[in-house]
Amino acid sequence: MNGNLTRRARLRDDVLARAKDQVLLMGILNVTPDSFSDGGQFLNPRAAMAQVEALDADGADIIDVGGESTRPGAAEVSAEDEIERVLSVIPGLCASSSRIVSIDTSKAEVARAAAAAGAVIINDVWGMTRDAGMAQAVAETESAVVVTYNRGDIQPDINIADDMRDFFANAFAMVAAAGIPREHVILDPGVGFGKTWQQNFDVLARLDVLMDFGVPVLVGVSRKSFIGRLLDREVQDRLIGTLAAGLASVQRGATILRVHDVREHADALKMLKAIDEAG
């Protein structure tokens, strides 16, 4: 086993083991010009590395690197451009023997390049349904994978819990067919992807559907538009709503929160833990 694969396997197994019984924070690093919240801020590799150092200091357990915005209406990015963006930072991030890096992509080609550079987790907001080669890329790189509930089209009248259960049952069939170990899978209810405004609340309320599959659950709600719509707040003023949704998700079993504001979430989780332990 080569050195990169040995390191990646060690970090993959470590993060998956910790996610079974403690809450981890996945800090967001967008190396994009057009992400909805922080587009353009970290395109420069020096700015990106400074942001990662800040996320580390604030308590991030995972750094999630994205090279293509997934906001509604965002322009598509070629695999070549996406690879160029993420590889401007991933090798430097992975120079640390202990930093766990995730690649936020729905392209198998990008996932392979990021894994070769040291990324441990493939975070696919399309749940391995957009790129037919993604499941094989996960299997061959021996990565952990975040499978996101994203049906693409919005259907207001479906039973969201039943549909989510069927989606993940199909996902696990795909996982088995590709030879991906079940224990390498993380599930995400996909807040903001292929859902009405109200369905975002519905999937958060029904995290029990994901818990039934017996693998870690990741929730990503940071600064998203459903919070802004409910509270009438602009993007940079959605921290309190984000914290509330994140803590509610943890109480329903989520063990990974994908966030922009790591320090504030770390503080909130420490308070929650102290209260739980006192009880």
Active-site amino acid positions:
224, 258
**Quick check: 238 and 231 in contact, CB under 8 A?**
yes
Bridge partners, residue 65, by sequence: 29, 103
Query: How many C-alpha atoms does 201 have within 13 Å on its Cβ side?
Result: 9
Three-state secondary structure of the chain? CCHHHHHHHHHHHHHHHHCCCCCEEEEEEECCCCCCCCCCCCCCHHHHHHHHHHHHHHCCCEEEEECCCCCCCCCCCCHHHHHHHHHCCHHHHCCCCCCEEEEECCCHHHHHHHHHCCCCEEEECCCCCCCCCHHHHHHHHCCEEEEECCCCCCCCCCCHHHHHHHHHHHHHHHHHHHCCCHHHEEEECCCCCCCCHHHHHHHHHCCHHHHCCCCCEEECCCCCHHHHHHHCCCHHHCHHHHHHHHHHHHHCCCCEEEECCHHHHHHHHHHHHHHHHHC
CA angle 76, 216, 179 (to 5 degrees): 70
Bridge partners, residue 104, by sequence: 66, 123
